[in-house]
Amino acid sequence: MKQPMEPSFPRPLATVDVVIFTVLDERLHVLLVQRLDDADDPFPGMWALPGGFVDIDKDRDLEACAKRKLREKTGVTSPYLEQLGSWGSTKRDPRGWAATHVYFALIPADPVVLEKGANAQDVRWFPVTGKNVVKKLAFDHAMILDTALERLRNKVEYTSLPVYLLPDEFTLSDLQRVYEIVLERPIEKSAFRTRVLSSDMVEAVSKMREGANRPAQLYRLKNPGSLVYFPRTFKPRREMD
């Protein structure tokens, strides 16, 4: 009943996919690529999460593989990157037993220029509202995207995650707006400011943001790359499930 420990045992396919989020035009967007029409790959012409096979020559480890795929599509080299999970089964890929390691990334919209690369027909940002994005995605990517959205929205309730959707320097109003965009509900200004400032996650920059109205204080992250956990969610009476 036991399996042999030989490495020659038949191996599943191994891929890495990345769910890349950004905020564009006051809305959350996710990056999708359109698969080639004429290839004899599965799901031709359909939209999918960016990703592909692990390259055992090029990729030191899974995270490096995810970073490479992100860089190839967006040029971004230092995103917020976190593992979302892995999905493997005999049915999710018509070519056979396949397992994908999924990461999710947050990047600021600013400097991004999309590149479709050789394997894709098109690359595009898709707005995300409520639950659905595109009805049908290749493989089980629609389900994976749902899971990523759930994780994002859930984690935003009690962490500093959304800073990674903004450029290095930002105002507290900017930050609050991103929280509201992701959570799709307004947040109390006073409570928000108290929480963010008392969490010690940001420090003031000497500059102020110019504009048509009163200039706002600019802040930046104290520990770039790290996550701050708030002691509670924004709306205590709301279920966190």
Partner DNA sequence: CTAAGATAGTTGCACAATAGCACTAAGTAA
Partner DNA sequence: TTACTTAGTGCTATTGTGCAACTATCTTAG
Residue 8, both tokens: 């020659």
Nearer to DNA, 85 or 215 (CB): 215
Q: How far apart are the first and last CA of the chain?
A: 39
- What string marks each residue from 60 to 89 as x (binds a second copy by CB under 8 A) or -? xxx---------x----------x-xxxxx
* Interface residue with DNA, options 126, 153, 217, 220 (CB under 7 A): 217
- Whether 47 contacts 134, CB under 8 Å: yes
Choose the one of a second copy, DNA, none that binds residue 191, judging by a C-beta under 5 to 8 angstroms depending on kind.
DNA
Strand partners, 19: 104
| Count of beta carbons in the 10 Å neighbourhood of residue 158 | 16
Choose the one of DNA, a second copy, none that binds residue 214, judging by a C-beta under 5 to 8 angstroms depending on kind.
DNA
Residue 163, both tokens: 């800073």
213 binds DNA (CB under 7 A): yes
CA distance 29 to 31: 7
CA 47 and chain centroid, separation: 17
CA distance 70 to 64: 10
As a whole number of angstroms, the longest Cα–Cα distance in the chain is 73
- What string marks each residue from 128 to 167 as x (binds DNA by CB under 7 A) or -? ----------------------------------------
Binding residues among 174-203 for DNA as defined by CB under 7 A: 188-191, 193-195, 198
Nearer to DNA, 114 or 172 (CB): 172
- The site that binds DNA (CB under 7 A) totals a number of residues, namely 26
- The site that binds a second copy (CB under 8 A) totals a number of residues, namely 47
Nearest to 67 by CA among 20, 114, 100: 20
* Interface residue with DNA, options 173, 180, 220, 227 (CB under 7 A): 173
Strand partners, 21: 30, 106
Give 126: exposed, middle or buried? Use CB within 10 Å, 0-12, 13-18, 19+: middle
* Interface residue with DNA, options 56, 90, 231, 241 (CB under 7 A): 231
The footprint of a second copy (CB under 8 A) covers: 1-3, 5, 7, 9-14, 39, 41, 52-56, 59-62, 72, 83, 85-90, 95-97, 99, 101, 117-119, 229, 231-233, 236-237, 239-241
The footprint of DNA (CB under 7 A) covers: 171-173, 188-191, 193-195, 198, 208, 211-217, 230-232, 234-237
